[in-house]
């Protein structure tokens, strides 16, 4: 275990133990566990691709924590999230603290601190965030405003991903997603701005980058008209914006169309995504996945991904999903296999 991870572990454990030792009288009526486990195996066969690397990502994340609720509206959560990668000689390959405040009332939520990434990004397509982001970056560090109503749902979030130092750049996201439903039809939007600055006092000046991406789509949820448990189709328009300020490039725009189709019956389903248009991610050859967190296959002009999946476990505690994916692009067919299992014990509560 590296000295940095060891020190982070000590600091996180100190914060966690301090929360446990606070006087219970200072808290409200209810405590609960906020504990989860996430196991992932994702094998990609992209050996001949010019834009994507083949790799196997596999590991398990364990996130123990304590949740304290005040009058059913206010909640404070504190814990840690540790990663062990399969095949690694380290006991812990990554550790990050989880500590946040949440206000929740009548469909509105406000979160501030270091909280699980899926609470803000579970709707976003892979053109924004590739699968591996959830494997290796489990937390958003910032704030989230979220509203979910009968017809309208929306969220606005800030994720401060790196603080500037001599070894690290200053980087952060500001993102938004929204959806409006009318009977069986809907319109939705996803967008973010990623600010990618330089190091502190760099020996060689580098241009500051801004990367914006937005997708607006219209669709229909036809599930209740068929025997399937889910039938959904949408068509959208994508625009990517890139600029390097010091190079005076102005905004470089990349346009395309993105369609999604999802059909499922009793946990067995197909999810298909098709993209056609300009290649995205203008500066990927220079800054690769530091600047762009989306799937690199969207650098091509035509890309189709077909996922065949089986949700073999699904209840309020455990979910298990097996996926076989085929990627059609660059004149080739690539394949991918993934197994994901998540266990959520947040429903177990302790009365005080």
Comparing 164-168, 233-237, 265-269, 278-282, the range with the smallest average pLDDT is: 164-168
3-351 belongs to CATH 2.30.30: no
Measured from the Cβ of residue 331, the count of other Cβ atoms closer than 10 Å reads 8
The pLDDT-based confidence of 16 (bands split at 50, 70, 90) is low
Distance separating alpha carbons of residues 297 and 282, to the nearest angstrom: 13
Looking at residue 113, what is its pLDDT?
98
Q: Is the pLDDT confidence value at 105 over 70? A: yes
DSSP per position, 165-234: SSS---EEEEEEEEEEEETTEEEEEEEEEEEE---SS-SS----EEEEEEEEEEEEE-GGGSSSSEEEEE
Bridge partners (DSSP) listed for residue 304? 274, 328
- What is the tens place of the pLDDT at every residue in 275-317? 999 999 999 999 999 999 999 999 999 999 999 999 999 998 9
Q: Is the pLDDT confidence value at 27 over 50? A: no
Distance separating alpha carbons of residues 243 and 56, to the nearest angstrom: 32
Q: Is the pLDDT confidence value at 1 over 80? A: no
Report the SS3 class of residue 251: coil
Q: Is the pLDDT confidence value at 240 over 90? A: yes
Q: Is the pLDDT confidence value at 36 over 60? A: yes
Please name the residues in contact with 234: beta carbons below 8 A apart, sequence gap of 6 or more.
Answer: 186, 188, 217, 218, 219, 220, 259, 260
Q: Is the pLDDT confidence value at 2 over 80? A: no
- What is the tens place of the pLDDT at every residue in 72-97? 899 999 999 999 999 999 999 999 99
Reported pTM: 0.89
């Amino acid at each position: 275990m590296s000295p940095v991870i060891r020190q982070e572990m000590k600091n996180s454990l100190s914060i966690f133990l301090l929360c446990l030792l606070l006087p219970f009288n200072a808290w409200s009526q209810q405590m609960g566990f906020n504990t989860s486990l996430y196991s992932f195996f994702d094998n990609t066969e992209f050996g001949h691709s010019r834009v994507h690397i083949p790799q196997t990502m596999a590991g398990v994340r364990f996130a123990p924590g304590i949740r304290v609720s005040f009058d059913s509206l206010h909640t404070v959560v504190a814990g840690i999230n540790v990663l062990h990668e399969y095949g690694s000689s380290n006991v812990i390959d990554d550790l990050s603290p989880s500590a946040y405040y949440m206000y929740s009332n009548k469909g509105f939520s406000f979160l501030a601190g270091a909280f699980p990434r899926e609470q803000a990004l579970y709707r976003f397509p892979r053109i924004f965030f590739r699968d591996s982001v959830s494997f290796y970056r489990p937390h958003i560090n910032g704030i989230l405003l979220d509203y979910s109503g009968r017809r309208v749902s929306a969220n606005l979030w800030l994720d401060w991903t790196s603080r500037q130092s001599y070894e690290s750049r200053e980087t952060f996201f500001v993102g938004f997603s929204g959806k409006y439903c009318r009977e069986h039809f809907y319109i939705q939007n996803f967008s973010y701005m990623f600010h990618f600055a330089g190091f502190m006092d760099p020996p060689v000046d580098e241009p500051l980058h801004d990367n914006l991406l937005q997708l607006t789509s219209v669709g229909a949820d036809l599930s209740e008209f068929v025997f399937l448990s889910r039938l959904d189709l949408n068509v959208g328009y994508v625009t990517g914006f890139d600029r390097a300020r010091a190079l005076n490039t102005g905004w470089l725009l990349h346009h395309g169309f993105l369609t999604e189709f999802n059909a499922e019956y009793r946990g067995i389903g197909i999810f298909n995504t098709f993209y056609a248009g300009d290649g995205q991610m203008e500066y990927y050859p220079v800054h690769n996945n530091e600047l762009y967190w989306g799937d690199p296959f969207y650098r091509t002009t035509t890309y189709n991904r077909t996922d065949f999946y089986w949700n073999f476990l699904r209840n309020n505690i455990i979910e298990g999903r097996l996926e076989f994916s085929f990627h059609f692009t660059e004149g080739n067919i690539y394949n991918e296999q993934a197994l994901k299992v998540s266990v959520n014990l947040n429903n177990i509560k302790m009365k005080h």
